[in-house]
A and B are shown apart, each in its own frame.
Chain A
Amino acid sequence: MNDIEEIVRSYISELRRGTLILCVLSRLDEPKYGYSLVQELEEKGIPIDAGTLYPLLRRLEKQNLLSSIWELTDSRPRRYYFLSDTGKAVYSRLCAEWHSMVSSMNKMIS
């Protein structure tokens, strides 16, 4: 019984991991700093560890999907991330792929 739980949990986390990039890209058409994104995703029912999101944001920036600037808000410096042009192009491609995948998947499992 525990085995099944374990297996299910590991596959769910695998499914989530695949959608994470899409979640992040979808939220960054306007600049946001890391922790506000954590909170926003949590509100929308996609909880993610800050310790996972922050490195992910850096990696996306390294791939030129995101740009970032340090800005002072509430007298604190924070790094704001936002979609670059490449990021926008990649995001719309991924969205199209997502929609077709969802409709095929629905046909299969419903």
Chain B
Amino acid sequence: MELIDRYIYAVIKRIPQKQRADIEKEIRTLIEDMLYASCGENIPSSADYENVLKELGNPAELAAKYNDKKNYLIGPEYYDTYLTILKIVLPCVIFGSVVVAFLEILANTPETFGSAFGDVVGAICSGAFQGFTWVTVIFALNERFLNIKALDAKKNWSVSDLPEIPKKEAIIKPVDPILGIVFSALFSIFFIFENHLIGIYNFSESKLISIIPLFSPEGIRRVIPWVVVIFIMLLMKEGIKLFTGRWNITVCAVAIITNIISLILSVLILKNNTIWNQSFLSELEAAGIGVSIQNINTAEIWNGVTKGLVYIIVFGYIIDSVVFLYRGIRYAR
């Protein structure tokens, strides 16, 4: 009977290849038994067939009962972590894409307001979509193949694992690390991809004529791996703040160590002459912006500026680390 074949096919196609033949045989005998129970020795009519199949129910449901495999993308064990990560990633990428889109608009001056608006909306959509897709794909892969244990899922839980209730001042609000991640992600993306927009903006009658870039794109391309390492350091620092949720020795130690590594890398990057736009001064002069005061060695000023930047960064890192040290000691428990 064709109807039976169609029913069985509808079940079987939802079942893993290996079990198909066996389950098909089983369902076929089941249907025959059911027909026999309702008609006995009589030849079943097509209404009998239909009744039996109706009794067996929706083939998709039957197949689902046979499949004890996971029929979800991200299981309950990881769902909370997944949502947390999404809540961090989505604002980051959306905000990031908007900023980049705005800067592109600023640099290229689109024809109409409409096209500019379209660019921004497009950037938001594609940013959000990318972020969502990648996070979901990574979690789904983990669910299926890796099964890395969720962060707080310890097998042998004991009472001593219970965290102390932190003092109010020792609590790290999630906003703080999330903002940290957002801005450093933005900065890294900006520095790597849009560094031509960092520079002196040459306006004439309130119209942008040109941008004299501070950096050399080729030079920066060579230091990208190190920028990425600095970003990862920052992710670790903010990440541990986010997941620990309070100041303690471990958080502060990680923060200080990552700070030291980032500081060393930043100084090495900035000290590397090739990242700077070597013709910055001459371009500036050509644009007629450079206040060409005689008897002043412009190259020396330039040197001073770049050196100054290094000092500012060193200073910033030291302040940051001292603050961490203070908090680590103060909220040690």
Using CB atoms, name the residue of chain A closest to B61. A51
Q: Kindly state whether residue B29 has any CB partner on chain A within 8 Å.
A: yes
Contacts of A34 in B (CB 8 A): 26, 29-30, 33
A51 and B26: CB pair below 8 A? Answer: no
Known: A35-B33, A35-B34, A76-B32. A52 touches B65 (CB 8 A): yes
Question: Can you list 26 A-B pairs, Cβ within 8 angstroms, ordered by A?
Answer: A33-B29, A34-B29, A35-B30, A35-B34, A36-B33, A49-B56, A50-B30, A51-B56, A51-B57, A51-B62, A51-B65, A52-B65, A54-B30, A54-B66, A55-B62, A55-B65, A55-B66, A56-B65, A58-B23, A70-B25, A76-B32, A77-B25, A78-B29, A78-B33, A79-B26, A79-B29
Alpha-carbon separation in the docked complex, A76 to B23 (Å): 16
Q: Kindly state whether residue A59 has any CB partner on chain B within 8 Å.
A: yes
Contacts of A78 in B (CB 8 A): 29, 33
Q: Kindly state whether residue A39 has any CB partner on chain B within 8 Å.
A: yes
Known: A52-B65, A54-B27, A55-B65. A35 touches B57 (CB 8 A): no
Q: Kindly state whether residue B37 has any CB partner on chain A within 8 Å.
A: yes
Question: Residues of B within 8 Å of A, CB-based: how many?
Answer: 18
A76 and B66: CB pair below 8 A? Answer: no
Q: Which positions 45-86 of chain A face chain B at CB distance < 8 Å?
A: 49-52, 54-56, 58-59, 70, 76-79
Contacts of B56 in A (CB 8 A): 49-51
Contact-residue bracket for chain A: 10 to 19
Chain A residues proximal to chain B, CB less than 8 Å: 33-36, 39, 49-52, 54-56, 58-59, 70, 76-79
A50 and B34: CB pair below 8 A? Answer: yes
Alpha-carbon separation in the docked complex, A94 to B37 (Å): 32
Q: Which of B30, B32, B68 contacts A59 (CB 8 A)?
A: B68
Alpha-carbon separation in the docked complex, A107 to B25 (Å): 47
Query: Which among A51, A52, A56, A77 has the greatest number of chain B C-beta atoms within 10 A?
Result: A51
Contacts of A36 in B (CB 8 A): 33
Separation in Å of the B49 CB from the closest CB of chain A? 15
Alpha-carbon separation in the docked complex, A70 to B57 (Å): 25
Contacts of B33 in A (CB 8 A): 33-36, 78
Separation in Å of the A81 CB from the closest CB of chain B? 11
Separation in Å of the B1 CB from the closest CB of chain A? 15
Separation in Å of the A21 CB from the closest CB of chain B? 14
Contacts of B29 in A (CB 8 A): 33-35, 76-79
Identify the 9 closest CB pairs spanning chains A and B, nearest first.
A35-B33, A55-B65, A51-B62, A55-B66, A51-B57, A78-B29, A51-B56, A50-B30, A35-B30
